[in-house]
Amino acid sequence: MISAREALDRLRDGNRRFVAGIRSPNSLLNPSRREELAEGQEPLAVILGCSDSRVPVEIVFDQGLGDLFVIRVAGNIVAPSLIGSVEFAAEKFGTRLVVILGHSGCGAVQVTLEELERPSEIQSRNLRAIVDRIRPAVQELLTNEPRLGGDDLMKRAVRANVRMSARQLRHGSEILEGLIASAGLMVVGAEYSLESGKVEFFDGMP
């Protein structure tokens, strides 16, 4: 079993390679590795990230088959089924690092900001379900710092949403709470920069 700290180091190293345009041989398709994984998996980290096509998680962290247990949803929101997916990986595979990965220019966060500033009738109840899960983080930010606006507001809102999702995972599951308290599970928040390719870990760090 890989510890949370070791997994975090491996993700950081992988992202540094990605930014430098270097690929590890271990991240490339390997038929023998594929056959080995048919017998089971031990992912080093769970990544709950956004569905944005510009943030392919395995590539961003330069990882290969079987390395990451990836959950992607618009706005990297936390809902019951997503918590269940994290619980499954943490219990079944012994994965000890969970990363909430947001990114700059997140469209779901932007839609939520627009909805708060100029309420409209969102036609899709499914899209509204996403906005409603992001809304509390953004609303709290606007309440505490009403003068925020423009790019600064967007940047702060992305991070506020990541922090809220991380809190929900830490405190929204008895299973995860127990693993945090007794088994070294770590839930951290991070942001990927579309411009630089860098991932910055900023919430829940040791």
CB atoms within 10 A of CB 69: 23
**Rounded mean pLDDT, 102-106:** 98
Convert the pLDDT of each residue in 68-100 to its tens digit. 999 999 999 999 999 999 999 999 999 999 999
* Helix runs in the chain, H state only: 4-20, 31-37, 57-60, 80-92, 107-117, 125-144, 150-171, 174-182
Convert the pLDDT of each residue in 117-151 to its tens digit. 887 766 688 988 999 999 999 999 988 888 888 89
Which residues form the domain of 130? Answer: 4-203
Measured distance CA(60)–CA(83) in Å, rounded? 23
- Cβ atoms 170, 114 nearer than 8 A: no
CATH number, position 168: 3.40.1050.10
Number of structural domains in the chain: 1
Q: How far, rounded to the nearest angstrom, does the alpha carbon of residue 106 sit from its chain's CA centroid?
A: 12
pLDDT for the residue numbered 150: 87
Higher pLDDT, 33 or 110: 110
